[in-house]
Structure 1
Amino acid sequence: MSAEPRERGPRLAILAKAPLPGRVKTRLIPALGEAGATALHVRLLRHTLAMALATTRPERITLWTALDPAHPLFLALAETHGIRLAAQPEGDLGVRMHHALAAMHGPGLLVGSDCPVLTPALLGQCQAALQTAEAVFLPAEDGGFALVGVRESHPGLFHGIDWGTARVMAQTRQRARALGWRLACPAEVWDVDHPEDLGRLAALDAFTP
């Protein structure tokens, strides 16, 4: 694929926390310890960025940072790959997602940094879906979602959502219907959030030592 169509395609945002021990992947600390949970967080972030770079030019990728926006990892990723850095604003997850999507001023995708089954092919499907749908999601098995993409962001899509619960995707579908939006959901995925997810993670070729 040539660089020209990729350059005109949707932008891509990644939400990521700085790898501060005890502040990331906290539900995995009983199984991995603080250091192990932090190392896994970094590994998942690097994987997410690699998938993004396989589909999107680096200058069209923004890493939206939290906890410590000037963390050395973030600075190193920006210098190595040429991606942009921006600090997440204050507010709940919906506010932060809307802010990142609205900053694109056009079609774009937003992902978290803990979905190990994200692939370039799946990102490509999501980018293509925005040609016919107002929004695209990758619903997660736990009732949330690992990716959202929009043609133009609207705060109503993220308003009044019970973040962190199994109701997130269902409530988001309701908000989309209220806006009159067509949704595309190319696949269901899973995140690494709980100790029971570690066995599945170890079975993935991309995450074997």
Structure 2
Amino acid sequence: MNGTLLVIAKAPVPGRVKTRLTPAYTPKEAAALAEAALRDTLDAVLATPARRRILVLDGEPGAWLPPGLEVAPQCGGGLDARLAAAFALCGDEGPALLIGMDTPQVSPSLLTTGLEPGPGEAAFGPADDGGFWALGLGSPALHGRLVRGVPMSSPDTGAAQRERLVGAGLTVRELPTLRDVDTPDDARAVAAAAPHTRFAAALVATAGAGSGAGAR
């Protein structure tokens, strides 16, 4: 397969990642959950046929990073600029699919489907909270600019991004809706839906530790 898989992520450092999980979880517990979600995501990426797999990282790699991935630093600016810069890493080397680290339930079959768009197509995976968990572009260097200026982290982000794609004349392939892990309720729901993931095991371990959410 000629496509590129991009994962945009933040290093799982306490106090810098998954802050919306606190105070129900301590910063250390939130970071442990973030690391588990990231590792699940990277496992799925590595199990998906692709020409390149790039982790676009805010922070430094740690022991959680498996072999087989390129690592590129995130640029500065807002999330829209960082997503556009991630797509620019691909050049015109076939389709690219970009995902985050918030959907540990993602599977290789979903990622393979997201890598299928041709030059005049896009793949779009909406999230339950109104955002999106995946964006695939048949021509990443040409169409990556379509994420710039899209208002991020709002209930209308997904609708605005999809409107951009359609307005540019792209045929949009719809991917299933997934739930991002942002809040404690999200964490419990995603773990219940994907009980065999590292994320689900980490949530159980956190509850069993008797601190943070486990004390409630």
Measured against the shorter chain, the TM-score band is 0.7 to 0.9
Q: Aligned AA for 2:74?
A: Q
Q: Aligned AA for 1:21?
A: P
Q: Any gaps of 5 or more consecutive residues in structure 1? A: 1-7
Write out per-residue CA displacement over residues 30-82 of structure 1, whole angstroms, 9 at most, x where no aligned residue.
1111111000000000000000011135x71111110x2x3434xx62xx412
CA distance, structure 1, for counterparts of residue 22 and residue 175 of structure 2 = 32
Q: What are the equivalent positions in structure 2 for 1:17-32 lying under 5 Å apart?
A: 17-32=10-25
Q: Does 1:161 align with 2:153?
A: no
Write out per-residue CA displacement over residues 121-167 of structure 1, whole angstroms, 9 at most, x where no aligned residue.
11111122x14851101100111001111012324411322210011
Higher helix share: 1
CA distance, structure 2, for counterparts of residue 136 and residue 22 of structure 1 = 33
Which residue is 1:64 aligned to? 56
Contact 1:110–1:149 (8 Å) recurs in 2: yes
Contact 1:14–1:110 (8 Å) recurs in 2: yes
Contact 2:87–2:144 (8 Å) recurs in 1: no
Q: What are the equivalent positions in structure 2 for 1:15-164 lying under 5 Å apart?
A: 15-57=8-50, 60-66=52-58, 68=59, 70-73=60-63, 77=65, 80-105=66-91, 106=93, 107-128=95-116, 130-131=117-118, 134-153=121-140, 154-164=143-153
Q: CA deviation at 1:20?
A: 1.5
Contact 1:11–1:56 (8 Å) recurs in 2: no
Which residue is 1:5 aligned to? none
Which residue is 1:173 aligned to? 162
Number of equivalent positions: 194
Instruction: Give the fraction of aligned pairs with identical amino acids, expressed as a percent.
Output: 36
Q: Any gaps of 5 or more consecutive residues in structure 2? A: 202-216
Q: CA deviation at 1:206?
A: 2.2
CA distance, structure 1, for counterparts of residue 115 and residue 53 of structure 2 = 13
Q: Aligned AA for 1:43?
A: A
Q: Does 1:200 align with 2:200?
A: no
User: What is the root-mean-square deviation in Å for CA atoms of aligned residues?
Assistant: 1.8
Moved over 4 A (4+): none
Q: Aligned AA for 2:166?
A: R
CA distance, structure 2, for counterparts of residue 21 and residue 155 of structure 1 = 31
CA distance, structure 2, for counterparts of residue 121 and residue 115 of structure 1 = 14
Q: Aligned AA for 2:96?
A: G
